[in-house]
Amino acid sequence: MNLAIRDVRFNLGRFLLTAVGLGLLLMIVMGMGGIYKGIEEDAVLLIDELNADLWIVQSDTRGPFAELSRLPANVEDRAWAVPGVASARRFVTHTVQREYQGRSIRISIVGLSWPTDRGEWLPIISGRTIAQGHYEMVADVTLGLGVGEHITLGKDTYHVVGITKNMISSGGDGLAFMSIADSQAIQFDAAGEATRLERAARRGRAEDDDITQSQPGMLERANMPASMNPAFGSPMVSAILVNLKPGVDIEIVREVMNGWADVTVYSGEQERQLLLQGPVDRARRQIGLFRVLLVAISAIIMSLILYTMTLDKIHDIALLKLMGAKDRVILGLVLQEAFLLGAIAYVLAYFIGKKLFPFFPRRVIVTNDMLVWLAFAVMVICIVGSALGIRKAMSVEPNEVLS
Amino acid sequence: MTQHAPAIETIGISKIYGSGNTEVIALREATMTIQRGEVVALLGPSGSGKSTLLSSIGLINPPTSGQIKIDGKVVMDGPKPFVNLQRYRRERLGFIFQKSNLIPFLSAIENVMIALSISGIEGRPAKRRAMELLDSLGVAERAKNLPSALSGGQQQRVAIARALANKPSLLLADEPTAALDSKLGRQVMELFREIGHENQAGVLVVTHDQRSLEVFDRILHMDDGLLTELEVANSKPK
């Protein structure tokens, strides 16, 4: 005769309510694990998707994700010239926050090295990749934009031609992909008045210089756009991504590039680690610690619940002992109820989480490994949590029935 | 009756709680014998040591000194057990209390079956035996009801059925009629007499109820830890 099942059936309402409460608690534990995993995955997602063998960044920086990195776009040409390089492409990333249809959206813009890179590697779920060098963009679904929509960024309007899924920046913002020229146009966009003032200031500085007295043409050039002025370089990029030919030793190529005094070169894995140890590290550790606390709190709450459930039956346990019940009968009663409670709470946590997590603002990634880990943790919590109740049950004297 | 060893025999058992200035003597060299089939009442004022004697005989509160024999075998000598007390309680003793003490989450039949289950009897044989007992005690029709759906008298009958489940050689009842009205109380006392005689089990009933004493074969009296036997003038013929 299974006493645990009968006791649960007798107190079904209370038992289920307790299981729901515990289930919600376990769902939070599961969610915290999922958020932790989500932060990790989101952080390195772009690096993984870009799949570059080498990242060339500004000298002595950990850029472009851990800190600001700026280097001339022509480093790309230098990279192409290194033996063993299969491809080199420019990479630009920056974040903008704009009002769109009455709501505020944060977009993490990634520049694609058009026409070499048209975004064929992107996980497109609807629409297509960019097919022209200007005014087209591919947006992540989290930005809430649809294929065919138009959004004005800077002085230009961009046509959303494709939608990706799960393309999130390390800060949790949805990514938008467009040509590098467009992304730089947005990044360095300045108001007309600011441009006019800058040109006037430039002319003022030129007028103070002796050389413009002897070379009046230079004074005229000071009034022109920066792009027509050889004295001004083209806008900087964030990094140059390099892929090597098959069989080429990455260290040899890296050594060659590291010889250039104006850049620093990292492997894809190093760039990944820089990101994980940099911007996301504190958030990751904070959530990790919070998760540990939640597991501890769950264990304490579960212990108290199991202890209270045992206390409720202490008279019956004393009676069973008086009737000569073996210890394993008592042990079975307490442990089976603990496992049943844990199992129901776990299943509830899984299904509630599955329905709820997609509504979270950041990705919550619950992997099979995490589910197995949580199941194991719940089992351990059940055993440890029952210990207090079992101790009480084992110490109760049969003669307590007589009192 | 004489073919069997006594259901229970105590030889000079004493129970002392505490020590020194706080020493309390609850039992003073109590000696008694209950044969199988004999129904015995134990009277005495509150605090006289009745419950201590009952719990000592019930192998749940070992005496400080003296011997307890069950079915002729020494089971305790002073506080030292000579047998597996848990097994002896399971196989040789049946307990009935003032309150029925039924397990609230088990039905009437399950409350009887649990006693059998503890002794290793499961399934159909357990169900058949439990049903027979409930039937013999007139509560078979309430077999599937939870204790909360039974009257006080019915609950006590189910408790008696549970106590009888493993065919004990000794039934110990602690004020079993205290929670019942006088009519029902008398019925239960009569039931003990029948059970004792029919099942050849010794029955010891601790009671305050003076109105039903004639159903007992013998009456023991306890006062201040001292056990004495009273004359029975009006007991029924066996």
Residue B235 within any structural domain of the chain = no
Interchain pair A319, B54: CB under 8 A: no
Residue B1 within any structural domain of the chain = no
Interchain pair B119, A10: CB under 8 A: no
Interchain pair B110, A7: CB under 8 A: no
Residues of A in Cβ contact (< 8 Å) with B122: 1
Residues of A in Cβ contact (< 8 Å) with B87: 324
Residues of B in Cβ contact (< 8 Å) with A323: 89-90, 95, 114-115, 118, 162
B164: domain CATH number is 3.40.50.300
Whether the CB-CB separation of B48 and B212 falls below 8 Å is answered with: no
Note the pLDDT of residue B196.
Answer: 84
Cα–Cα nearest to B172, from B83, B82, B59: B59
Note the pLDDT of residue A177.
Answer: 94
A14 touches chain B (CB under 8 A): no
A355 touches chain B (CB under 8 A): no
Interchain pair B54, A402: CB under 8 A: yes
Distance set, CA B102 to CA A170, A397, B95, B149, B176 (Å): 62, 17, 11, 12, 13
- How many CB pairs below 8 A link A and B? 69
pLDDT above 70 for B235: no
Which class for A155: exposed (0-12), middle (13-18), buried (19 or more C-beta within 10 A)?
A: exposed
Beta strands A150-153 and A239-244, pairing class: unpaired
Distance of CA B142 to the CA centre of its chain: 24
Note the pLDDT of residue A230.
Answer: 63
What is the residue extent of each domain of chain A?
Answer: 3-43+281-401, 46-277
- The Cα–Cα gap between A147 and A262 comes to 41
A319 touches chain B (CB under 8 A): yes
Residues of A in Cβ contact (< 8 Å) with B97: 401-402
State phi, psi for B14 to the nearest 5 degrees: -125, 150
pLDDT tens digit sequence for B182-196: 777 787 788 888 888
Q: Is A141 helix (H, G, I), strand (E, B) or coil?
A: helix
Note the pLDDT of residue B1.
Answer: 43
Residue B207 within any structural domain of the chain = yes
Residues 6+ apart with CB under 8 A from A352: A23, A24, A27
A-contacting residues in B 29-68 (Cβ below 8 Å): 51, 54-55, 58, 60-61
Residue B23 within any structural domain of the chain = yes
pLDDT tens digit sequence for B104-158: 999 999 999 999 998 888 889 999 989 988 988 888 899 999 999 998 888 888 9
Residues of A in Cβ contact (< 8 Å) with B55: 399, 402
Candidate from A6, A319, A399 with C-beta closest to B101: A319
Distance set, CA B22 to CA A43, B13, B223, B225 (Å): 73, 20, 20, 16
Interchain pair A11, B115: CB under 8 A: no
Q: What is the mean pLDDT of residues B10-23?
A: 87
DSSP designation for B64 = S
> Mean pLDDT by 10-residue block, N- to C-terminus, for chain A (403 residues)?
89 91 92 87 83 90 81 88 90 86 89 85 91 92 91 89 88 89 83 77 77 74 68 75 91 90 90 81 84 88 87 88 86 90 94 92 88 91 86 84 70
Residue B238 within any structural domain of the chain = no
Interchain pair A322, B95: CB under 8 A: yes
Interchain pair B113, A1: CB under 8 A: yes
The shortest C-alpha distance from A7 to chain B (Å) reads 5
Q: What is the ipTM of this complex?
A: 0.80
* Mutation target vs A (from B17, B87, B100, B105; most A CBs, 10 A cutoff): B105
- The Cα–Cα gap between B8 and B89 comes to 13
Cα–Cα nearest to A129, from A151, A109, A104, A112: A112
Query: What is the average pLDDT value for chain B, to the nearest integer?
Result: 85
Domain that holds residue B100: 8-230
Note the pLDDT of residue A126.
Answer: 93
How large a percentage of chain B has pLDDT more than 90?
26
State phi, psi for A317 to the nearest 5 degrees: -65, -40
Whether the CB-CB separation of B36 and B202 falls below 8 Å is answered with: yes
* Mutation target vs B (from A322, A327, A400; most B CBs, 10 A cutoff): A322
Q: Is B148 helix (H, G, I), strand (E, B) or coil?
A: helix
Interchain pair A319, B103: CB under 8 A: yes
Note the pLDDT of residue A326.
Answer: 85
Residue B164 within any structural domain of the chain = yes
